[in-house]
Structures are given as C-alpha cells and as structure tokens.
Amino acid sequence: MARVTYMMTLLRRVFWLAVIGGTGWAGWNAWTRRTASTTAGPPEWPPIEPPANTAPTNVASVAPTPSESVKAAVDSVPTVSEPADTGPAVPEASDTGPADTGPAESLRTPALTWVAPEGGACPASHSVKANSNSGIFHVPGGRFYNQTRAERCYALAEDAEADGYRRAKS
C-alpha cells in the first residue's frame, strides 16, 4: 500500500512539473517571437518563371471573328440623328408649391424632413426622436423614448428610415 501511495505522489509531481515547464516554455517562446528584431524588411518573393514549353500567343489571332449574321444585325440597326421626344419637361421642385406625386417625385430635391430639437425635446409636430451617434430613432410610446435626448426630430418614422436611421428594437 505504501508503494502505491509513493507512485501516486510521484506521478502527481511529474504531472505538475510538466505543466509548469510547458507553461514556461510557451511563455518564453511567445516573448522571444514578440521581441525578435524585424530589420530584415518586407519579404521578397522569387520571380515567377513562365513555363518553358509554351510560346507567347498573339491576342488578335485568338479573338473570334464575328459571323455574317452578327454583322448583318449590326448593320441593320438604325442610327438616331435627332433626340427622341421624351415628353413634357419635369418641373423643378419649389418650396412653396404643392408636392408632386408620381414618377417625377424621385427627380425632385428632397425637402428638409427633420428639425432641430429645442433643449433635447422634439416639438409636437415632429415627435420621432433620432440619435446620430447610435443611428437609432425612437417613436412615442417606445421603451426609451422619454430617456432619449434627440439630435434630430422627424414627423414620420419613414423619414428617419430614409435618412439611414433604424427603429429601436423595443
């Protein structure tokens, strides 16, 4: 029984000696790699030699020639000498007139859709609070709406989304 106890004690000591030695070796290895001088400069790669059995090819000789049907199709395309009539001109956006609706709306300059807050509080007409640092906007009734100090105030959540903000998750 004493012999088994002696062997177990010896095995435990050898195990812990190996653990301490391995940790020391790993630390020494990491330290020498970190403090190694790097004065050699960037690595240099050997030049790539072209294969010896291939001759350079002329690109013009490899390019396919168009068939007769393709040439005839290209020649049959009419040329345009006058600009085509595109319809009535799109009116310029005005700040005083009513907003246009329809396809010309995407061509207009977007109007200012947000207002600056007054002391961190948004006016009643622009109740959506947006924070530029987080890129999040909060709607009335949201979990953190009352704690949010607004940097921009929007009338609609869609306007805030159009400016790149995302809705708060709760």
Domains held by the chain: number: 2
Q: What pLDDT is recorded for position 63? A: 53
Q: What is the spatial distance between Cα 142 and Cα 122, in angstroms, rounded to a whole number?
A: 15
In a domain, 23, yes or no: yes
Do you know the residue count of the chain?
A: 170
In a domain, 58, yes or no: no
SS3 33: helix
In a domain, 131, yes or no: yes
In a domain, 39, yes or no: no
Q: What pLDDT is recorded for position 138? A: 92
Sheet of 136-138: strands edge to edge? 114-115, 152-154, 128-131, 136-138, 166-167
In a domain, 27, yes or no: yes
Q: What pLDDT is recorded for position 81? A: 57
Mean pLDDT by 10 residues, the chain (170 residues): 88 96 93 72 78 63 59 65 54 50 47 81 90 90 88 92 89
Full residue range of the structural domain in which residue 148 is found: 114-167
In a domain, 125, yes or no: yes
In a domain, 7, yes or no: yes
Q: What pLDDT is recorded for position 97? A: 46
In a domain, 64, yes or no: no
